[in-house]
Amino acid sequence: ATFRGTLTTWSYTLLRNEPGSVHGHTCDVRNEASVREALAWTEQELGPVRYLVTAAGINLDRLLAQTSEAEMRNLLDTNVIGTLFCSKAALKAGMLRRRQGSIVNVGSVVGERGNIGQTVYAASKAALVGLTRSLAKELASRNITVNMVQPGFIDTGMTRAEHLQAVVGHIPMLRPGRAEEVARAVHFLASSSYVTGQVLPVDGGLRLSL
């Protein structure tokens, strides 16, 4: 919902030099009916959904004692419930019937190591680890894989420049990651038919320094 007005333009800009075509369709991942409609549109316009990447997510840099109930619920609804809704919709749209598919969830290193001012965000990303592994067990016999990429500090609009500068010294590779490096990991997991239930760090070796 946050990026509703810019999603299609952003997608075209990002992929304009790539082969194939770009199609955009927005939905509110916090609303199950909206998610079902988006999956139905996708199947109608583009054919069977074989891959699902649950990358919709929001962050909140705020101490827990200063976080309102509404802010907590919005973040958890987007990051956790939204992932559940999208996964369920993709399964019911045809993955289960065809006994084929791949789901890749996007987590965060914060979900394991924690971070000051990100208690709610960390809780949401930690939840996705259990979600990923449990769903992988549910779906393995149906030839559907479920995995997670766990980015470290990536140079995106969700990570403040001053925060990136402060943590670079703790990253063995001495730089933040790039979005395309996360995308390559997503592609690897989505296309790996015998890898499931795995959490793949994309963090420049950050966990080695913990």
Domain-wise residue ranges, the chain: 7-209
Q: How would residue 9 be classed by pLDDT, with cut points 50, 70 and 90? A: low
Catalytic choice (12, 51, 121, 194): 121
Burial class of 175 by CB neighbour count within 10 A (0 to 12, 13 to 18, 19+): exposed
Report the CATH number of the 7-209 domain: 3.40.50.720
pLDDT over 80 (residue 201): yes
Enter the tokens of residue 42. Answer: 């996708």
Helix (H, G, I), strand (E, B) or coil at 132: helix
Q: Is 12 a catalytic residue?
A: no
Q: Which residues contact 13 (CB under 8 A, 6 or more apart)?
A: none
Whole-model pTM: value is 0.89
pLDDT in tens, 34-63: 999 999 999 999 999 999 999 999 999 999
Confidence of residue 85 (pLDDT cuts 50, 70, 90): very high
CA distance 92 to 86: 10
Q: Is the pLDDT of residue 1 over 50?
A: no
Helix (H, G, I), strand (E, B) or coil at 103: strand
